[in-house]
Amino acid sequence: MRIGATADLHFFSPRFGVIQEQLAQVRDQADILVVAGDFTNYGKPEEMEQILNSLVRLRLPIVAVLGNHDYESGAQVELMRMMTDAGIKLLDGTAYERDDVGFAGTKGFPGGFGRGALTAFGEPEVKAFVQAAIDEALKLERAMSQLRTHKRVVVLHYAPIGDTIQGEPPEIYPYLGSSRFAEVIDRHGADLVFHGHAHHGSPDGKTIAGIRVHNVALHILQSQKPPAVFRMFEV
């Protein structure tokens, strides 16, 4: 299966026409498109409506998760409904199988990596923050346990490893993802992992078990030569 992957489209009218033209090329190269969150800039239904109009014209199966920007206006339930009505396979602790390739995903959450991961100790607010990350990790666990396919692809918005956020200011590393998700991925096994969110991170990394992780944030893709709006993979 040929997979086109992108993230962090952050729809807003002035520049999306150019991105739309370039994105149209994916239908000639890929069997499926993965979008790893942040469809919108401010999480507004009118933003989602316009980007969905473009994506539906691709006439490709699309697998996606929401990103933090898609939650900004508190309209995430409406955005989810719009996406599923448009035929997008939205992963939110759920799985999707196609041609013996399984996709499992969820948005993810911050929390830090390895020994720097925040633990549920102290104030109730800290415990609630950590619990949100644990809940998202459990959603990924549930999604991955549903897969019965030979090949597996994980889709997140937040990073599961530190390698693919390298290039961002070190001060914000804990807010870019959590290694709790890599623990789940390594336990269940996967062929590929996609995420976004870290716009100035690095494109490639691996979990401790050696599973390939790719940051497909649009800003990273656009910094390539030539600039791109999606990246191709094969499983």
pLDDT tens for 172-195 read: 999 999 999 999 999 999 999 999
Mean pLDDT to the nearest integer, 48-67: 95
pLDDT digits 0-9 by tens, 139-177: 999 999 999 999 999 999 999 999 999 999 999 999 999
Provide the pLDDT for residue 33.
98
Give, to the nearest 10 degrees, the angle between helix 45-56 and helix 13-23. 20
The CATH code of the domain that includes 215 is 3.60.21.10
| Count of CB atoms situated within 10 Å of the CB of 224 | 10
CA atoms 209, 189, 105, 12: torsion sign: positive
Provide the pLDDT for residue 104.
98
CA distance 44 to 12: 11
Provide the pLDDT for residue 80.
98
Provide the pLDDT for residue 13.
58
Number of domains in the chain: 1
- Domain hosting 45: range is 2-234
Provide the pLDDT for residue 27.
94
Of 99, 120, 101, the C-alpha closest to 194 is 101
